[in-house]
C-alpha cells in the first residue's frame, strides 16, 4: 500500500511537472503573442503621438503666423468696412430715406437742366414701401413726371442705370416702367426726331424702385 502511494505521489509529481510545464508554455505563448501584438499597437500609438507632437509644434507656428497676418490685415479690413458702410449710407441705406432721395433728384435736375436742354421734374410721388420676395431688401416705389430734352432723357436713364455704385454714391434704383411721348418741336411738327435736336421735348413718366436694406 505504501509503495502504491509513493509511486502515486511520484506519478502525481510527474503529471504536475508535465501539466505545469504545459501551462507555462501555453501561458508563455499567449503572453508572448499578446504582448507582441499589443506592443506593435503601442509602438504605433507612440509613433503617432510623436508625429502629432511634431505637428503641434508646426501648427503653433503656422497659427501664430496666420493670426499675425490677420491682425495686420484687420486694420485695413476695418477701414474698408468703414468705407463700405459710409458709401452704403448713400447707396443702400438702412431705411427708405426718401428725403435724401428727393434732394438727390433735385440735385440732378439742377445739374442737368439748362435753357437749351431742359430737364424739369414736375412731379414726384412716393408710394408704399415694399419688401422683396426673398426678404433681402426693401424698396420704395416712386413715380415721377419729367419734361426733358432727348439728351437729358438719356442722361437720366444713365443716372438710374449707374445708380448703386459705391463710386458714384447714387442711391440704388431701378426703372420699372417708362411712358414717354414726344412733344412738338419749334417748327410745330408733331412727333420726334429722336437724336436730331436737343430742343426736342420728351414728356415722360417713369416708375422707379429706390432700394434700401431690410434690417
Site residues for other proteins, 52-111, by CB under 8 A, read: 52-53, 55-56, 59-60, 62-63, 66-67, 69-70, 73-74, 76-78, 80-81, 83-84, 88, 91-92
Considering only the stretches 50-58, 103-111, 116-124, 140-148, report the one whose residues sit in contact with other proteins under the rule CB under 8 A.
Answer: 50-58
Give one word for 188, left, alpha or beta, with left for phi > 0 and alpha for psi -120 to 50. Answer: left
Q: Which of positions 139-198 make contact with other proteins (CB under 8 A)?
A: 154, 157-158, 161-162, 164-168, 172, 174-182, 189-197
**How remote is the C-alpha of 192 from its chain's centroid?**
47
Which of 95/165 has CB closer to other proteins? Answer: 165
Closest CB 112 distance from other proteins, rounded Å = 15
Three-class secondary structure of residue 22 per DSSP:
helix
**Cα within 13 Å of Cα(98), Cβ side:** 14
- Beta strand 201-213 pairing with 137-149: antiparallel
Which of 84/120 has CB closer to other proteins? Answer: 84
Considering only the stretches 4-12, 99-107, 114-122, 140-148, report the one whose residues sit in contact with other proteins under the rule CB under 8 A.
Answer: 4-12
Closest CB 124 distance from other proteins, rounded Å = 19
Are 105 and 124 in contact, with CB atoms under 8 Å apart?
yes
d(CA 91, CA 173): 9
Among 10, 95, 122, 125, binds other proteins (CB under 8 A): 10
Question: How big is the CA angle at 210 (ends 209 and 215), to the nearest 5 degrees?
Answer: 120
Amino acid at each position: 500500500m505504501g509503495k502504491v502511494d509513493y509511486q502515486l505521489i511520484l506519478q502525481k509529481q510527474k503529471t504536475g511537472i508535465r501539466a505545469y510545464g504545459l501551462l507555462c508554455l501555453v501561458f508563455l505563448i499567449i503572453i508572448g503573442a499578446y504582448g507582441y501584438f499589443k506592443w506593435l499597437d503601442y509602438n504605433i500609438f507612440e509613433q503617432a503621438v510623436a508625429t502629432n507632437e511634431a505637428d503641434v509644434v508646426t501648427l503653433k507656428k503656422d497659427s501664430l503666423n496666420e493670426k499675425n497676418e490677420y491682425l495686420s490685415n484687420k486694420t485695413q479690413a476695418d477701414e474698408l468696412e468703414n468705407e463700405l458702410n459710409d458709401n452704403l449710407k448713400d447707396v443702400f441705406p438702412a431705411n427708405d430715406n426718401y428725403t435724401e432721395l428727393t434732394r438727390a433728384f433735385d440735385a440732378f435736375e439742377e445739374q442737368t437742366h439748362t435753357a437749351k436742354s431742359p430737364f424739369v421734374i414736375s412731379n414726384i410721388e412716393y408710394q408704399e414701401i415694399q419688401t422683396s420676395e426673398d426678404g433681402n431688401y426693401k424698396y420704395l416705389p416712386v413715380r415721377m413726371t419729367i419734361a426733358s430734352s432727348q439728351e437729358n432723357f438719356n442722361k437720366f436713364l444713365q443716372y438710374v442705370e449707374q445708380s448703386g455704385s459705391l463710386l458714384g454714391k447714387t442711391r440704388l434704383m431701378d426703372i420699372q416702367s417708362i411712358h414717354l411721348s414726344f412733344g412738338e418741336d419749334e417748327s410745330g411738327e408733331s412727333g420726334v426726331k429722336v437724336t436730331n435736336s436737343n430742343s426736342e421735348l420728351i414728356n415722360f413718366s417713369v416708375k422707379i424702385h429706390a432700394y434700401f436694406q431690410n434690417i
